[in-house]
Chains A and B, each alone.
Chain A
Amino acid sequence: MEKLLEEFSLGLFFWQTLLFVGLLFLLAKYAWKPILSAVEERENTIKDSLEAAEKAKADMEAVQADNKRILKEARAERDALLAEAKKTSTQIVNDAKEAAQTEADKIAAAAQAAIQQEKNAAINDLKAQVAGLSVDIAQKVLQGELADQKKQEQLVEKLVKDIEIK
């Protein structure tokens, strides 16, 4: 301890303290503060960049998930549309078929009715003509036959016998 005290030099202590404190203030102003703030700024930049990258990645994933979902929805919608269309087309075809059938039936019925009517008209016409012809023939025959009375009476008798109303 005595040796230590003897070794102690006030002058050296004075210079040491002066130099160190001087250095402390100079470095604090011109070195440590700029260095630490530059490093801190850099660290913040790195941290922010990493965060931004992480966020971008998350966003990207969200977008991709969205895309996938939208695609899936679109597919489902397409399938639904297709099914709907198929159903509708079948419906239309069926309806058309039905309508056609009805129409055809109707036409056929109308045709039949017309035919029937024509037939009836034809029959009536024929009947009328046959009646006229018959009258004509009868007139002519009668004119020939009925030259004498007797014959006329025989004929009438015979005709009346023959006539058979259908």
Chain B
Amino acid sequence: MKRKSTILINAKKSVALLAILFVGFAFANNKEDAKEGDLKTEIKEYIAHHLLDSYDFSLFSYTNAQGEHVYIGAPLPIILWDNGLKLFSSSKFHHGETVAAVDGNHYALYHNKIYKTDAAGTINYDESHHPTNVKPLDFSITKSVVSMMLVFAIMFFLFKSLAASYAKNGGIAAGAGRFFEPIVLYIRDDIALPNIGEKKHKKYMSFLLTIFFFIWFLNILGLTPLGVNVTGNIAVTFGLALLTFLITNLTGTKDYWLHIFDPLGSTMAWYAKVPLYIILIPIEVLGIFIKPFSLLIRLYANMQAGHIVLMSLIGLMFIFKSWLGSPLSFGLAFAISLIEVLVALLQAYIFTMLSALYFGFAAVEHEHH
């Protein structure tokens, strides 16, 4: 039963993605004679499914005349560590429809996670309906990883060509670099310089530039019909925030640590500071972790929310199914996508800006009086 709903979800996914691409034809594809209640649940499940990572890069799918599901897209490699390296194609799962048999082990997909099962693909649950099957260590090249590789390639060639264009063009950017150079300069002049300062900003520039464009490009990629949700994934935002955390604390100066462990300095006698510090120091120490944590949650929640709102509005088209409601929700979805384009840039900016701010705290050097 569960498997069947996954199939339906995939069918719906294709419909919704097609809707983004060819809104006019969307109605023709929506031939499922599902009841309205089912439709709502399916849309909800489909959105939940979309927000998660995926083991294959499917663009869309449809149900053919024989009632078979046809997927358009590419399977991706699955890399597992389960008493040895297991490498196989995600096509073995048939989009979650079958159990993959590899070297005598069987693996099944459940809620977009790989579990080790028996040959029949049985999933055992505990009381709170969590699977109790073993989860092998999963280093698969998922859809998100592919998207990041794509952004990796785009960024590398884009900025390498920008760097090369200076030499060829007498110190002036050429081509697409003309658009990106002002952004690079903006990050230097309005993010790095005011927050970190003239003396130390160069050390952090590479990270700030890379993280800004990485987040921005991934956010924009998430708005394309490819339908990836990389920056709305907690593992990705965690990874990014972790780097900000590490750089902040590893480059922290003596003054930075003094500010945390002796925030009042010599303004007070030591015996007066002791009772204050019982409260102050834990707060300051907690702050070290809360700052990057807020970064990871902010980016995750904003991108997640954007995708949910956008897809819900697209889903509304199939609920209304009327000449008035559907165009209306399309218009709304269109407006929200425009806002999402802005949010994509804004979130990249905020992440970079706050990272620079934290680096500024870490790089601080007071005049000692």
Let me know if B214 and A15 touch, CB within 8 A. no
Chain B, 196-230, CB within 8 A of any chain A CB: 202, 205-207, 209-211, 214
A28 and B210 contact, CB distance less than 8 A:
yes
A10 to B138, CA, bound (A): 7
Q: How large is the interface on B (under 10, 10 to 19, 20 to 34, 35 or more residues)?
A: 35 or more
Q: Which residues on A sit within 8 Å (CB–CB) of B53?
A: 9, 12
Q: Judge whether B243 and A20 touch: CB under 8 Å.
A: yes
Task: List residues of A (24-49) whose CB comes within 8 Å of B's CBs.
Answer: 24, 26-28, 30-36, 38-39, 41-42, 45
> B15-29 CB contact bits vs A (8 Å, 1 = yes)?
000000000000000
A11 touches B207 (CB 8 A): no
* A27 x B171 contact (CB < 8 A): no
Bound-complex Cα distance A118 to B156 (A): 132
- Which of A13, A22, A36 meets B239, CB within 8 Å? A13
Q: CB distance B238 to A20 under 8 Å?
A: no
Q: Which residue in chain B gives the minimum CB-CB distance to A7?
A: B234
Is the Cβ of B163 less than 8 Å from the Cβ of A9?
A: no
Interface residues of B in 151-170 (CB under 8 A from A): 152, 155-156, 159-160, 162-164, 166-167
B342 at interface, CB cutoff 8 A: no
User: Are A11 and B142 in contact (CB-based, < 8 A)?
Assistant: yes
Q: B145 at the A/B interface (Cβ < 8 Å)?
A: yes
**Known contacts being A21-B243, A26-B156, A39-B185, is A31 close to B235, with CB within 8 Å?**
no
Q: Are A31 and B205 in touch, CB under 8 angstroms?
A: no
Contact B185 A32 (CB under 8 A): no
- Bits for B124-166, please: 1 = Cβ < 8 Å to A, else 0: 0000000000000111111011001100100110011011101
A15 cross-chain contacts in B, Cβ below 8 A: 139, 141-142, 144-145, 148
How close is A65's CB to chain B, nearest CB, in angstroms? 36
| A117 contact set on B, CB distance < 8 A | none
Known: A12-B233, A32-B210, A39-B184. A23 touches B155 (CB 8 A): yes
Q: Which residues of A contact B242 (CB under 8 A)?
A: 17
Give the most central of A11, A21, A24: most B CB within 10 Å. A11
Indicate if the CB atoms of A8 and B238 lie closer than 8 Å. yes
State whether A17 touches B163 (Cβ < 8 A).
Answer: no
Given contacts A27-B209, A32-B205, A36-B205, contact A16 B159 (CB under 8 A): no
List residues of chain A with CB within 8 A of the CB of B123: none
Q: Is B138 a contact of A11 with CB atoms below 8 Å? A: yes
Distance (Å) between the CB of B204 and the closest chain A CB? 11
- Check if A24 sits within 8 Å of B206, measured CB to CB: yes
List residues of chain B with CB within 8 A of the CB of A22.
Answer: 152
Give complex CA distance A30, B207 in Å.
14
A24:B142 contact, CB within 8 angstroms: no
- Evaluate contact between A45 and B210: CB separation under 8 angstroms: no
Q: Is B163's CB under 8 angstroms from A14's CB?
A: no
Q: List the A side residues contacting B240 at CB < 8 Å.
A: 16, 20
Is B101 interfacial (CB-CB < 8 Å)? Answer: no
- For B139, what are the chain A residues with a Cβ–Cβ distance below 8 Å? 11, 14-15
- Is the pair B206, A32 in contact by a Cβ cutoff of 8 Å? yes
Contact assessment for B163 and A12 in the assembled complex, using a CB-CB cutoff below 8 Å: no
How far is the CB of A5 from the nearest CB of chain B, in Å? Answer: 8
B162 touches A31 (CB 8 A): yes
* Given A12-B142, A28-B210, 17 extra CB contacts under 8 A: A9-B233, A11-B79, A11-B138, A12-B145, A12-B233, A15-B139, A15-B148, A16-B148, A20-B148, A20-B239, A20-B240, A23-B210, A27-B160, A31-B160, A35-B184, A36-B202, A42-B172
14 A-B contacts (beta carbon < 8 Å): A11-B139, A13-B236, A14-B139, A15-B141, A17-B243, A20-B148, A23-B156, A30-B156, A30-B160, A31-B159, A32-B206, A35-B159, A35-B163, A45-B171
Ranked nearest first, the 10 interchain pairs of A and B with the lowest CB-CB distance are A31-B159, A38-B166, A28-B206, A34-B163, A13-B235, A12-B235, A16-B239, A11-B138, A11-B139, A15-B145
